[in-house]
Amino acid sequence: MDIRTLAAADLPACSDLAESRSWPREPPKWALLHQVGRVFGVPAPDGAGLAATAVLVAFGPVASISMVLVAPRYARRGLGRAITAHAVAAAGEAVVWLHASKLGRPLYESMGFVADGGCQGHVGRFADDGGPGASPGSLSDVVQLDRAAHGVDRMALLERLGTPFVVDGGFAFGTDIGHVTVIGPVVAETEEQAKALIRGVARAAPGEVRVDPDFRFPALTAWVRERGLAPGALAPRLVLGGRPLPGDAGKRFAPFTRAVG
């Protein structure tokens, strides 16, 4: 099987493949993932774009796999398993994790991935409740906080997310991924801080926002829904071999996206 590492010129084909699976096109997210990670692709045998994709993003001893997509006309031919296995091999000795869809979870579990929490996306126009909101800060305010929460140096990601909103001991970014402003990562010490961070980003966003609260924080999830954001599908997080992820999980209220924690 011809699995290639794709270049920037291949990214429009990635968006085409995503659209064929009823996913948003999200060109800015594909570009970001290409900048901080490796995008793998299988050229379609019929010459029409890509048959499959997967993305590997590694930060030191931890790596995520995402955007595992197979063109509908090539479904059930083992492409999803093959390209996921390729990404796992490329990760080497890193702790590998991913967020799974309902359809993809059986495949990943058959490959040795073990459930370890997860999150749920919520999208819509934020109905402000008038509570305290975070203010814009600087990258220097968040680097050490992110390292404590995630256990690795993620500067390559953080420096591409724009201006952070900060509170004492926490931060969040608001990043336009093409059709919505993603609020994340949300790193905080308390749920009230997490709410302030979400408010701060949402107030500055030009339209709809998305935030994916972690399963560990059901009260925050309920509040997000009260603010008018509609829930999407659950996204369980799976870790290869059930290995522990580094960092302080209690501070990780929401990931940047399901592709990168």
Q: Which option is the CATH number for 121-235+245-254: 2.40.50.140, 3.40.50.300, 3.40.630.90, 3.10.129.10? A: 3.40.630.90
Nearest to 195 by CA among 229, 161, 162, 163: 229
pLDDT average, residue stretch 84-104: 97
Give the architecture (CATH level 2) of 4-93: 3-Layer(aba) Sandwich (3.40)
pLDDT average, residue stretch 42-47: 94
| Residue, of 203 and 259, whose pLDDT is higher | 203
pLDDT average, residue stretch 232-257: 97
d(Cα 185, Cα 64) in Å, to the nearest integer?
15
What was the pLDDT predicted at 1? 81
d(Cα 259, Cα 62) in Å, to the nearest integer?
13
d(Cα 19, Cα 235) in Å, to the nearest integer?
19
d(Cα 99, Cα 101) in Å, to the nearest integer?
7
What was the pLDDT predicted at 85? 98
d(Cα 7, Cα 178) in Å, to the nearest integer?
20
Using the predicted structure, report yes or no on whether residue 237 has a pLDDT greater than 90.
yes
Instruction: Tell me if 4-93 shares its fold with 121-235+245-254.
Output: yes
What was the pLDDT predicted at 261? 86
Nearest to 184 by CA among 168, 161, 205, 206: 161
The pTM of this model reads 0.95
Domain boundaries, the chain: 4-93, 121-235+245-254
pLDDT average, residue stretch 65-83: 96
